[in-house]
Each structure stands twice: as structure tokens, then as C-alpha cells.
Structure 1
Amino acid sequence: MKTAIVTGAARGIGLATARLFAQQGWQVAMVDRDCAELEKVAPGIDHAFAVCCDISQADQVEVMVRTVLEHCKTIDAVVNNAGVADFGPIEQTDFDRWRTVMATNLDGTFLVSQACIPALKHRGGAIVNIASISGLRASTLRVAYGTSKAAVIHLTRQQAAELGEYGIRANCIAPGPVRTKLAMAVHSPQIIAAYHDAIPLNRYGTEQELAEAIVFLAGDKASYITGQVLAVDGGFESTGVGLPALRADPA
């Protein structure tokens, strides 16, 4: 049985991805810093177990990977999904806000990937990093978030270039607007309507649709795919830039 690590697995895209891996016969290490929520959801998923870890902390990441290997012996796929969303005007983004976003979105993705490389080398394996459409196209209010996700995209390409000789594939998913609890909490009705207008498929994506793409890239059916960025966005990247509803009121 293959083993996948999924970070940010207590809710949203990470939880949907963990469930789909399990449905396809994988063991799943569900990783999140929200220990209470993780302990609620993990027992309901076959072949899954919870590992509480803040991926922005190098010492915790090392312990997490050791725990997974003690439990499963192998690591075949790593899904770096955990992320922090902090949206605000560029002039209000101080260094503390910047570092909070980078610590999880970029540093955490780097730390987890680095810690898993020795295990991935044994049988070949896959890294799937979760970036964002905000890493492919600039928008307002996303100076830290968008920059962190753009960096994740390049990190993915760097991993593909350097780890391919070991049979390790690295790919990136760039979600567009997805109907998660987090998105619905921060998107006003005006913003939701604007997104619908800007997306060719005229709707938000679902967590399940993202999970399907992630599990595909992690699995054997994607065995000759590496170094790629797949925008799962309903066509959003193909249509213009910016949303008026997201712009600051000049008054």
C-alpha cells in the first residue's frame, strides 16, 4: 500500500484530497497544526492517521516525517497543501504579515519537501505543491500571498529539475476560486458575483475537483509528468486581469 502525506488536511482541499487518496487504497498521513480538528476528522477516513505539526517549524517537520516513516515505512507522495491566506493593501502589509504568509506557504512547503526527499528516493515518488492562480497572475490585496505562491511554482520547477534523476516527480496545482469555508468567509457577495463573471465556467470550483487533480498528479497515471503547473480554475487564468470588486475605493 502506498503512502501519501497531505498537509493542511484538517479541512477544505486537504481533507478532500486525503479522503480521495484513501478511497483509492492509499495510506494517508493527515498533517495539520489544528490538532483538535484533525483528531475529529481523521478517524472517519480509512487507512488515515493524524499527525499534528506546524509545517513552518523545522523541528516539528522532522518529527512528523519520522512519525510517518515509523507508521508506514515508506512515503510515496507528498501534497504540500497547507497555506495561510492574508489579503490586504500593499501599504498595510508590514513585515510581520509578510513573514507569517511566507513561513507557511513557502518555507513550510520547502521544509516538508526537503525532509521527505530521502524517503521518496527509495521507490521514486511524487511531490504535488499547491500554489494558486494568484501565483500566476497578479491581483490586488495579494502582495504576500501571491508572491508566496509564485515562489512555490518556481520551487516546484526547481524540484523537478533536480530530483528527476531519482525518479521523483514534482508538479504544482494552481487553484482558482474554490468554494471552501475560508473563501466563503472572505469573499463578499459582490466579489463572488465578480468571480462568476470572470470565470468561463461561471462558477467556483469544488474541493473534490481539486482533489481529483492532485491525486492524479501524485499517482502512476501521471508517471511522465513533472515540472508542470496545472491551473484548476475554470478557465480563470485565460481571461483578463483583476477584478473591480477587489480594488480599493480611491475615496
Structure 2
Amino acid sequence: MQRFDGRVVIVTGAGSGIGEATARRFVAEGARVVLTDSVADKIDAVVASLPEERATAVVTDSSDYGQVAVMVQETVQRYGRLDVLVNNAGTITQGTVQDTSVEDWHRVIETDLSGVFYGTKAALEHLLESKGCIVNVSSVSGLAADWRMSAYNAAKGGVSNFTRAVALDHGKDGVRVNAVAPGFIWTVLTSDGEPHRLSDEFAGRIALGRGGLPEEVAAAITFLASDDARFITGVVLPVDGGTMASNGQPAQA
């Protein structure tokens, strides 16, 4: 399919995992994609494996509004337009409130939540012009809470409701805003060199009985960004193998 032929897309946090898979999917469907990450080597390696005329790397710290604004402006100057923004860059910290340092709290909130605001603010004038769309990457952790992840839960919960709010504000302007909420997805961070095998306890929480793949989240993101989803806005779509279908009680024998 070439659903994005002629369109220009920004994907933040595109150096690995969901961001990389999403950038690859957009390129495969005809888009010209700007990949951002705070680590140059990561996005350079991804871009080097893609068609030269379809992918560009721009080193950007998504927690720095100045850098984000410059990246968006460079994108529009290079390609003449912007059609899709995927706010994917994120980080995580674990621990109770007592365990979480103020520095870690700010790092997670600035990257995971403020970064979504920064990208949206910098891109919106161009998306209003193109009648484009935004897809944010939230999490099932933004729909319900986890043990020992209060900072991450706060940030992703903010992303989910920010998505709905911006969808309300700009729907009549022709800009759609949605989010995906991945569950357990196999990435470099989650696999840590181990085979793709979940513990029985973890697998038992997922209706499909397995972890997801970055490409499966990318498929949902590109759907929401496409004209196939032209009457969908303000949605936070779980891509979680059925995790959120449960009320939390254990499976019955």
C-alpha cells in the first residue's frame, strides 16, 4: 500500500523499537520521514538502511522545546510541508514516590509528557495548513496504574488525556489527534538479549498469551495516521494483546 505517498512524517524516538518500526512502515507506504532521536548513531544507522530520498535523521532531544521547534522548522523547509507527527520518544524510571528522585521525576515527565506537548506545539501550525494528524504513543500504563511506576504512570496518563483534549480543540480545524497505548512490546529494552519468552505470570495477563512486536504497534500507528481512520479522533487505542480487556482478577481454573 502507498497510503502516504507525497506526505511528510516526523517520528520522534525513531532510533529503535516502536519508533524505528513506525518510521520503516511509513517509508514502505510512500512517505518521506524525518527520524529524530537524542543519540545520533542510532538514527543514523536506521536512516542508512532506508532509501536516501525517503528518510532524514535529525538529532533532537524531545525534552528541549528549542530543539524540537528547530527540527520541525527544518523539516518544513526541506520538504515544504508536514502531514503527520508521531510523538513516540520516551523514557522510564521505576520505584515508589519515596524511591523516585526529583531528577528522575523531571526526566520522565519532560521526555514522556512535555515532549508530546513540545512536538504538538511546534508542529500544529503546519498540520493546520495540511489538515494533518498527530499520533501519540501512550501506554496501557496511561490507562491504568502499575506497581512502582508512579512517574511513568503520571506521564503516560497525561499523554492519554492530552490527546483527547487536543482532539477536541482542533477537530473542527481538520486536524485529527489519536494515541496508541501499547502493552508489553518486545524491544531492546524489554528483551535485554533474552529469547522472546514471557514468564507464566506475565503471559497470563495478556489474552493472546504473548508479548507484542514493534511492527504490530507501527501498524496501528499508521492506520490511525491514514485516511482509513479519517473519522477517528480523540481515541487512545490499546495495542496490548487484550491486556486491558481484563478486570484484573486472575484466570479461573
Normalising by the smaller structure, the TM-score range is over 0.9
1:213, distance to aligned residue in structure 2 (A): 0.1
Residue in 2 aligned with 1:165?
A: 172
Structure 1 partner of 2:126: 119
Q: Give the structure 1 partner of residue 145 of structure 2.
A: 138
1:228-243 superposed matches below 5 A: 228-241=235-248
Count of residue correspondences: 243
Structure 2 residue 51 is the aligned partner of structure 1 residue 41: no
**Which of 128, 137, 147 is residue 135 of structure 2 equivalent to?**
128
- Distance in 2 separating the partners of 1:125 and 1:242: 41
Matches of 1:242 and 1:139, distance apart in 2: 15
Deviation at 1:185, TM superposition (A): 3.1
Which amino acid counterpart does residue 30 of structure 2 have in structure 1? G
Work out the percentage of aligned pairs sharing the same amino acid.
37
Report how far residue 191 of structure 1 moved.
6.6
Partner of residue 246, structure 1: none
Could you tell me whether the CA contact under 8 Å between 1:180 and 1:206 is conserved in 2? Answer: yes
Once the two structures are TM-superposed, the CA of residue 141 in structure 1 deviates from its matched residue by 1.4
For structure 1, list consecutive stretches of 5 or more residues without a partner in the other structure: 244-251
Give the C-alpha shift of residue 188 in structure 1.
11
Alignment pair present for 1:60 and 2:67: yes
In structure 2, relative to structure 1, the CA distance for the partners of 1:229 and 1:18 (3 Å cut) is same
Q: Is the 8 A contact 2:198 2:211 kept in 1?
A: no
TM-aligned CA distance change 1:85 to 1:70, over 3 Å: same
| C-alpha distance in structure 2 between counterparts of 1:194 and 1:11, whole Å | 27
Pairing of 1:23-102 with structure 2 (within 5 A) = 23-46=28-51, 47-102=54-109
Provide closer, same or farther for how the CA distance between residues 157 and 118 of structure 1 changes in structure 2, counting only shifts above 3 A.
Answer: same
Q: TM-score, normalised by structure 2?
A: 0.92
- Structure 1 runs (4+) deviating above 6 angstroms are 186-191
The residue type paired with residue 68 of structure 2 is V
In the alignment, the residues of structure 2 paired with residue 193 and residue 98 of structure 1 have an alpha-carbon distance, to the nearest angstrom, of 31
The amino acid that maps onto 1:4 is V
Partner of 1:247: none
Shift of residue 241 of structure 1? 3.4
